[in-house]
Amino acid sequence: MSADRSPGALAGLRVIDLTRVLGGPFCTQTLADHGAEVIKIEPPQGDEVRDWGPPFRDGVASYYVGINRNKRAMALDLGDAKGRDVLLRLLARADVLVENYKTGTFEKWGIGYHAVLAERFPKLIHCKISGFGADGPRGGMPGYDAVIQAMAGLMSINGTPDSGPTRIGNPVVDLGTGLSAAIAILMAVYERQASGRGQYVQVSLYDTAISLLHPQAANFFMSGKPPVITGNAHPNITPYDAFPTRTKQIFLAVGNDRQFARLTAELGAPELAQDARFRTNQDRRANREALTEILRGLLADQAAEPLADKLLAAGVPAGPVQDIPGVMADAHTRHTGMVVEDGAYRGTGTPMKFSRTPARPAEAPHPFSADSRAVLSESGFSSTEIEALIAEGIVPAERRR
């Protein structure tokens, strides 16, 4: 980091990260990217997504590498009372604890927030991430992204009439939950400035998935009609769909009548904007099939990428349907810093840009337990204590297989 570079908007925030898999690590990576000191504490067996490959580099799967940068690496056996004692000493210097252990685990270990942590560390913010929350008919039950997509209705609105309900291709529930958790933590940090008190924050995959059901839930609440699968088309707006061209598909997202007039003018058919069937969005929605066929004809001989640039310049939201290699090579992706590198590490950048406190440079995930000695020393452990903890396996130096 250069001498004049900001350490990040969250510099000084210390986070103990006991999360595994995706939602929690994505949350804490977001915090770490913006300057928080995140100490990722893995169980002796390691975070299981280290093994979710291929691909692998140096025995670690890309799945792990993609969501654990900018963190310090430690390991701790919390199943042992000595390990829990270590955790408590680490929490004495922490602002935030984030964990996604099975509901009730901390209480079983005698370190539940309400019974122990709140009194011992009154300023601590404890963020609990779970599948369904702690109570209710499914309280405490495990949840994985795809299962929640199915149960919370996301699959029911994704796919085509031919495919039927379809899982969204990336783990949007896990990722959304990670962002919800990060936002919740920062809200609690902000509130603590006034109250001086920490609090217990819960974020569940199930609740997050339901919160993402827009506009389908809003449509249902108003109309009483269950949403139907529309493929790439928008349920409320027309034209808002993918269309074939001579080269690749192009997506048109025409949100108002002015944009529709500009689209038809750029396609050489300005009269369509005055056609009684297509003057307003309601008209276009009622005559979607007819308009779709007309647009398909106008687009058939076009090349997607130059046409998209032309439409964007005219104020019409449009873009070619790109694959992942194309996205990562795109000049705009590079310009906005959405590919970051650190040696052999390459990852996606942060979408949050700050004028004075930009995100910290990407630092590749550290090897398993690589920072354990340093973290313990900074928390007041003597060298004799540290070596004893490592020798006993309370702080494993290598993954336990």
Contact (CB, 8 A) for 307 and 317: no
The set of catalytic residues is: 174
Instruction: Write down the pLDDT at residue 6.
Output: 78
Instruction: Write down the pLDDT at residue 401.
Output: 86
Measure Cα distances from 368 to 32, 65, 72, 144 in Å. Answer: 17, 12, 10, 24
Instruction: Write down the pLDDT at residue 81.
Output: 98
Instruction: Write down the pLDDT at residue 41.
Output: 98
Instruction: Write down the pLDDT at residue 225.
Output: 96
Taking only Cα atoms into account, the Rg of the chain, rounded to an integer number of angstroms, comes to 25
**Structural domains of the chain, ranges and CATH numbers in brackets:** 14-212+336-392 (3.40.50.10540), 250-320 (3.30.1540.10)
Q: Are strands 339-342 and 72-75 parallel, antiparallel or unpaired?
A: unpaired
Contact (CB, 8 A) for 173 and 148: yes
3-state secondary structure of 17: strand
Residue ranges, the chain, pLDDT below 50: 1-3
- Determine the length of the chain: 401
Tell me the per-residue pLDDT of 83-106, one tens digit each, with 9 for 90 and over.
999 999 999 999 999 999 999 999
Cα–Cα dist 201/320, whole Å: 41
